[in-house]
Structure 1
Amino acid sequence: MFDKLDFSNASVLVLGDLMLDKYYFGNVNRISPEAPVPVVKVNREEYTLGGAGNVVNNIINLKAKAYMIGAVGEDSNKSVIKQLLDEKQVKYHLLERDLPTITKIRVVGEHQQIVRIDFEEIKHLEQEEIERVKEYILTLINKVDCLVISDYGKGMVNFELSQFVINQAREKNLPVIVDPKGNDWSKYKGATIITPNLKELSDLLKIEIRNDDKEIETYGQEVREKYNLKYLLVTRSEKGMSLIAENEVHHIRSEAKEVYDVSGAGDTVVATLATAISAGINISDAIKIANTAAGIVVRKIGTAPITLDELKNALKVYRNRKLRHLQDLIVEIAMLREKGKKIVFTNGCFDILHRGHIEYLKKAKELGDVLIVGLNSDDSVKRIKGKDRPINRQEDRAELLASLEFVDYVVIFDEDTPYNLIKEIKPHVLVKGGDYKLEEIVGREFAKKTITLPFIEGYSTTFLIEKMRNR
């Protein structure tokens, strides 16, 4: 589905704390005679954009357009930042303040970070500076499809500017994504999405929230309502993400196989989410893409950004938009519910698709707006039907079902029953064949209504297989 991602027409404005990251890499062969510390013989230097600049880095690496509003100091590092932005063809407006450019120097010896040296001085913006930033925002807002507030608590994002961005975006029907800092979220009130990690959410509420679905649902909904947010997206390290909307909560599991370094993962999530939304991708698919991007960058060392090729290669999803993984599908369902759509669910092996199946599925679709078909995997069919089944592979069965105009989504499950699938989807209507008694239907407690539909006589996959064998 995402193998042809194209973000070339996407454009994002980032407002936030711009930093310069300097890396000195070298070898360690001795201890200093001056103090018991290693001596690093530097053989390589690297400069890169940090803080809100790392969000910009990720957007550019995804082949989208980025605009940056931030601040630099009156020093030589100002020129380095401008050069990096120019090289990436980022259009920017930077306040030049009588302060050091925020700079973090990391000394790395033998693949181990030995020390970090920070240059920064936090000073609130003067009113004249605030007014200039507002002018910058008004200059750029008509050129973008999405805005990001990247707050690192270094002074660039205050209440007045944050609310100015949110209000201007609301007037133009543009989404605002906030990467928050600190425990005063009043400045973010009314944003479209805020993306705290678990620690940031805990700090906000001044309690320790366990990395547990139920706790995150409870506290996340409280925060979403308090700050009038459309969505709260909590990033949960190895457990993935939790999307909290008005009437729905969905947990998207991490796609990272190994985690080496979570540095910069939040920037990547925000950048990828903003870029995908700017490209017209719906929120459920955008979150799926951002989750995949996060799974890539946590396997890298340091704040290395995502690349478009990496993202395309990692998106292990079906090309047919009707064929969905469960975690992807439940986010989509949340959006459908918001639109008042009635969800119908049924399931089966559908090994050899015949007229009986077609009529059954047609009638199921008539019971609502969206028909989701749960399809038994090959292993599941084999356990239920015997070692000689299925006749057709799960990929082929799924494609055939998806080709039917009255089937909206197909999701493959590996269990013997669709119990867990129904529990996650929670359909308005659960449909089964007429050979089932109502009390025997698995998962009916998760549906608002359960209905059985009669099959057409003379049509059965088992009968067809036997007929072919006896010829």
Structure 2
Amino acid sequence: MSLSIEPKLVARDAVTRRLGYPDDTIVGFISGNFNIIHAGHLRLFKFASEVSDCVIIGLERDDNDGVTVPQALRAEALDGLEMIDMVVDIGEDLEQFLRLLNPDIIIKGKEFEDQINLEGKIAEDTGARLMFASGEYVFSATDLVNREFSANGLSLASEAYEYIQRHNLDPQALKEKLFRIADLKTLVIGDLIVDQYVFCDPIGMSQEDPTLVVTPNRRQKFVGGAGIVAAHVGGLGCKVAYSGLIGDDEAGSYAKEQLAQFGVAAELIVDETRPTTMKTRYRASGKTLLRVNELRQHDVSGVALERLKSATLDRLADFEMVIFSDFSYGCLPHDLVRDLISVGRDNNICMTADSQSSSQMGDVLKFGKMHLLTPTEREARLATQNFSDGIAYLIGELRERSHAENLVITMGADGMLINGPREGTNFVDSLPALNPNPVDVAGAGDSVLATMSSALAVDCSIWEAAFLGTLAASVQVSRAGNLPITRDDLFNMLDGLRNR
């Protein structure tokens, strides 16, 4: 890897000679500010490395519009990526630089395809190809993360430490803010799910057909969906109530009993036309083999929905925070959401939401003007119908259309991308996932939603809330099944950081 931050322009032959490449090397070029390296950039760099032999990154100078991080620090961050061969200062004239470098391929994000691009004219003149990388490209940024540091089982990549320093996060101060969550009056509304795990021993492959054969040895149930969001909030110390729907069945009775044990004041409306939604996962050797969903897709009965509406609207003003946990199973139709949001705004209630679309179709845009939205990348793309632009453009588009105060796109093993206010401007940052060896990823998003919502409600910044949410997710994925996150879980993590 070679680093060249110099005011002079770098000619193509000088670059390839310095890197030890032959004359017929295919040179790819990407330029930009690159204040914060996030998953969208990594996808772009990966694309460049696959269509060219040598990837050159051109960095804008510190006086360029939008630059917030000194060039030397930006170059240092890029220097750590194996996909990049050289980082260069493009100087004051991009056109002059490109004509001297004469790359074979110029790569830009898909969001720039319909815009006027200076690079397009240069490509025509020099015979280079101008390529736009699609945001659909599948790439796990965690392949590049160095996870050699750990504290109390928490993996801390260098990007996580940089995030902590960038936002001046103090573990002790975060602990003190978590104490303020106690007695926060919170209402969670949404679809209840009962998660059943069937732990199996593998036997082998059937001789009659290619079917995996297992034998079940243990079954265990957990409250999931909006129910576990409420339990997480209660575990953090809030006074939490929950409104949702169940069926007239054993699963509904189980959920009611468990929520009571978790200290959740649950008002569960029985819909006799639908069973309690249950998801059964068959697991063997630490892996999920199959998930079976038992549910009804038809609309919630009018009687049950009216009872739910009355139960929530009548007491909404008593709460300081409302969390919508929508799994698109019928508990939160648009009309009810509209009425709840209207009452929430009238009473200046902190409102947050997530609308999941893992195995069904949801619409996060029905939750307008939230303090926080936490969709996955897929959910964000479904909401905006944008399946091509880079994720950094996507998060800005969704925040603008949803009018959310803060927006987080969760990306599983790639962590999260955060868009929120900082020092009077819009700022985008990324935070890697902190658990490199998850046992069960189910429920990670629920823990993020619950923890970030609670933190924001007691005046944590979005950057503090995101870090606490990431800590909660790292705890959640370290075990099979949904169990409530507790304040002590987060305290232990923060103590580990203080002791490093």
Q: TM-score range by the shorter chain?
A: 0.5 to 0.7
Deviation at 1:31, TM superposition (A): 5.8
| 1:125-274 alignment runs, 5 A limit | 125-181=300-356, 182=361, 184-208=363-387, 215-245=390-420, 247-254=425-432, 256-260=434-438, 261-274=440-453
Deviation at 1:312, TM superposition (A): 1.2
Structure 1 residue corresponding to 2:246, chosen from 72, 77, 81: 72
Match of 2:190 in 1: 16
Q: Separation in 1 of the partners of 2:220 and 2:355?
A: 27
Deviation at 1:152, TM superposition (A): 0.8
Q: Separation in 2 of the partners of 1:137 and 1:305?
A: 23
Structure 1 residue corresponding to 2:472, chosen from 293, 296, 299: 293
- CA separation of 1:167/1:262 partners in 2, compared to 1, >3 Å: closer, same or farther? same
- Do 2:420 and 2:462's aligned partners in 1 also have CA atoms closer than 8 Å? no
Taking structure 2 as the reference length, the TM-score comes to: 0.57
Q: Separation in 2 of the partners of 1:300 and 1:218?
A: 34
Secondary structure of the residue that 2:445 maps to in structure 1? helix
- Do 1:146 and 1:277's aligned partners in 2 also have CA atoms closer than 8 Å? no
Match of 1:430 in 2: none
Q: Separation in 1 of the partners of 2:282 and 2:369?
A: 41
Secondary structure of the residue that 2:174 maps to in structure 1? coil
Deviation at 1:305, TM superposition (A): 4.3
Residue 236 of structure 2 aligns to which amino acid in structure 1?
L
- CA separation of 1:237/1:105 partners in 2, compared to 1, >3 Å: closer, same or farther? closer
Deviation at 1:20, TM superposition (A): 0.6
Residue 252 of structure 2 aligns to which amino acid in structure 1?
K
Deviation at 1:26, TM superposition (A): 3.4
Question: What is the number of residues matched between the two proteins?
Answer: 316
Secondary structure of the residue that 2:418 maps to in structure 1? strand
- Do 1:193 and 1:229's aligned partners in 2 also have CA atoms closer than 8 Å? yes
Taking structure 1 as the reference length, the TM-score comes to: 0.61
Pair 1:45-2:219 in alignment: yes
- Do 2:355 and 2:363's aligned partners in 1 also have CA atoms closer than 8 Å? no
Q: Separation in 2 of the partners of 1:57 and 1:40?
A: 32
Structure 2 residue corresponding to 1:2, chosen from 154, 168, 174: 174
- CA separation of 1:95/1:195 partners in 2, compared to 1, >3 Å: closer, same or farther? same
Q: Separation in 2 of the partners of 1:35 and 1:82?
A: 42
Structure 2 residue corresponding to 1:28, chosen from 176, 179, 202: 202
Deviation at 1:63, TM superposition (A): 3.1
Match of 1:367 in 2: none
Q: Separation in 1 of the partners of 2:429 and 2:248?
A: 45
| 1:73-152 alignment runs, 5 A limit | 73-97=247-271, 98-152=273-327
Deviation at 1:153, TM superposition (A): 1.1
Residue 311 of structure 1 aligns to which amino acid in structure 2?
L
Residue 90 of structure 1 aligns to which amino acid in structure 2?
V
Shifted more, 104-113 versus 154-163: the winner is 104-113
Deviations 1:381-411 (A, max 9, x none): xxxxxxxxxxxxxx9xxxxxxxxxxxxxxxx
- Do 1:15 and 1:68's aligned partners in 2 also have CA atoms closer than 8 Å? yes
Deviations 1:34-73 (A, max 9, x none): 8764554433321111111221232233233321111111
Q: Separation in 2 of the partners of 1:160 and 1:266?
A: 25
Q: Percent identity of the aligned residues?
A: 27
Shifted more, 184-193 versus 162-171: the winner is 184-193
Q: Separation in 2 of the partners of 1:66 and 1:32?
A: 49
Q: Separation in 1 of the partners of 2:444 and 2:463?
A: 19
Q: Separation in 2 of the partners of 1:103 and 1:82?
A: 14
Structure showing greater Rg: 1
* Coordinate RMSD, CA, aligned: 2.8
